[in-house]
Amino acid sequence: MAITRDAVEAFLFHEADLLDDMQVEAWLALWAPECCYWVPCNGRDDSADAQRQVSIIYDNRAGLEDRVYRLMSSAAHSQRPRSRMRRVVGNLRFEVREGEVHTRSNFLLAELRRGRQEIWSGVSQHRLLPAGDGFQIRAKTVLLTQSDEAIDNLTFLL
């Protein structure tokens, strides 16, 4: 498959739809068998040492599966009711290194839950492996603008 801007964008837009619609199992299926889903904390970026510094999320494949399994439960109270969301993904830049696509994009997410609307924003860094007619996510790091603020509920997916 040719690695074009259209193909990369189409994949990121598809992922954004799954996240907004809380299609969590379909989202999980986008990930490679060995993967890392990382949201650093305290305003840090991907230069942080996740083995010495706490993250908001640092999931390997097993952690990601636990997260998705829990979100499917009727007892995941912080997502009962679900967050209603719509996000815009843009400012995409990417390069291909050793067969992997390294992307950097911005997101702006409006999240509404129980009468409260929150605006979340940040930078997403994907490492994508070409697979079939699309990609698999090898790693995704989200640099959340609010990562050093007091946060109520981040149980939806970024």
Partner 1 sequence: MNAPHSLSDYAHLVQPDRVHSAVYTDPAVFEQEMARIFHRSWLCVGHEAELPNPGDFRATTLGRQPVIMVRGEDGQVRVFMNRCRHRGMALCEAETGNARFFTCWYHGWVYRNTGPLQDVPGPAGYGPDFHKEDFGLTPVPRQASYRGFVFASLAPTGPTLAQHLGPAAKYLDIYMDASPVGEIDVTAGVHRTHYRGNWKFVGMDGYHPHYTHRSVMDAWKRRSGGNMADTHHGDPFADESGNLTRDLGNGHVLMDFLPGRSAHLERYLGSIRKQPRGEDYIQAMHAAYGEQRGNELLAWAGDPHAGIYPNLQLIGVQIRLVRPVSVDETEVLMFPGLLKGVPDSINSLRLRQHESFYGPAGAGSPDDAELFERNQTGLQAAVEPWVYLGRGLNRERTEPDGTRVGLIGDETTQRGQLRAWAKLMSEA
Applying CB under 8 A, the residues found at the interface with partner 1 are 39, 41-42, 44, 50-58, 60, 62-63, 66-67, 69-70, 73, 75-78, 80, 148-155
Q: Which of 128, 139, 143 is nearest to 10 (CA)?
A: 128
Quick one: 101 or 109, whose CB is closer to partner 1? 109
Q: In the complex, what is the shortest distance from the CB of residue 84 to partner 1, in angstroms, rounded to a whole number? A: 16
CA torsion sign for 31, 89, 82, 153 is positive
Query: Cβ of 98: how many Cβ atoms within 10 Å?
Result: 5
Nearer to partner 1, 67 or 102 (CB): 67
Query: What CA–CA distance (Å, rounded) separates 122 from 65?
Result: 24
Q: In this complex, which beta carbon is closest to partner 1, that of residue 32 or of residue 76?
A: 76
Q: Minimum distance from CB of 66 to partner 1 (Å)?
A: 5
CB 110 within 8 A of CB 156: no
Q: Which whole-number Å values give the CA distances from 40 to 45, 47, 57, 96, 149, in the listed order?
A: 6, 9, 7, 24, 12
Of 14 and 67, which has the nearer Cβ to partner 1? 67
